[in-house]
Amino acid sequence: MFDWEDLRYFSTFAQTGSLASAAKKLGVDHATVARRIASLEASVNLRLVDRRPRSYILTEDGRQVARYGEKMSDSAYSLERFSGAGQGVVEGDVIIAAPHVFMGNLIAPHIGSFYKRYPRIRLSLTGTKERLSLARREADITLGLVRPVESAVVTRRLGQVNFTLYSSAEYLASEQELRVIAYDDSVADTPQQAWLKKHCAGCPVVFFSNDLRIQAITAAGHAGIALLPDYLAKEYHLVPARPDGPVLTQDIWMSVHRDVRHASHVSPVIDFLSSCIEPAYGL
């Protein structure tokens, strides 16, 4: 019989694609992940990876075992959700994943009032640009500008947020050539990047960043114009660079796994997040 922890380590490696990424996610060093994979291979008497000089590559047997591991993990998470959904006491841990600026501007200012009402619910705010899995309990609730496609997930559109070009008033008053604060290649496939390429073609780029707050701070420092959401522009006292110009409108999506949406400790958080966003950005 194999060690379940070996399978968990191997499954994480299969999901992330590298020893380093798996180690980071598991909070261990890459040698531990490699040792666990070797232990699982010995237990099931199968070669699960090809060991190349700079990487591990899944074999066909490895891909099949990874599929089994994913099914077993899904079943374990389903049991966890089922056992927690029916608890009568309003307490527990809830992980919320959303872009950093969502957390900082729209959610974090209201945490104090939430805790006054639900002191035994412990919130964990995870700022991320990645899509975390609700099925694997990487998060309990996600907020974002892209609708998730994961199965067994209930998704709700909370509202819409507008992006347009902003700069400091001083920068506009200087009447110099408009320079763009652009996104870097890590967000090359986003609607924001496509919008910039369409509406700012030919404009010189002064700065690259994949972080909206850094872009806003740079714009406030009179460096150029940036495509920003209205709430972030307001925080840094920025003004529209093209007052009558085009606007990028994006939907705000909230998602939760269907097994826990009515759980006593999750339902209040869903209502709380809605109350943070819908008054200002509701449809």
> What was the pLDDT predicted at 150?
79
The domain defined by 4-77 folds into Arc Repressor Mutant, subunit A (1.10.10)
> What was the pLDDT predicted at 89?
56
User: What pTM was computed for the model?
Assistant: 0.68
> What was the pLDDT predicted at 256?
92
> What was the pLDDT predicted at 185?
82
Domains in the chain: boundaries: 4-77, 85-157+251-281, 161-250
The domain defined by 85-157+251-281 folds into D-Maltodextrin-Binding Protein; domain 2 (3.40.190)
> What was the pLDDT predicted at 156?
92
The domain defined by 161-250 folds into D-Maltodextrin-Binding Protein; domain 2 (3.40.190)
- Listed as ranges, residues in the chain with pLDDT below 50 are none
Tell me if 4-77 shares its fold with 161-250.
Answer: no
> What was the pLDDT predicted at 75?
65
Q: Which 3-state string (H, E, C) describes the chain? A: CCCHHHHHHHHHHHHHCCHHHHHHHHCCCHHHHHHHHHHHHHHHCCCCEEEECCEEEECHHHHHHHHHHHHHHHHHHHHHHHHHHCCCCCCEEEEEEECHHHHHHHHHHHHHHHHHHCCCEEEEEEECCCCCCCCCCCCCEEEECCCCCCCCEEEEEEEEEEEEEEECHHHHHCCCCCCEEECCHHHCCCHHHHHHHHHCCCCCEEEECCCHHHHHHHHHCCCCEEEEEHHHHHHCCCEECCCCCCCEEEEEEEEEECCCCCCCCCHHHHHHHHHHHHHHHCC
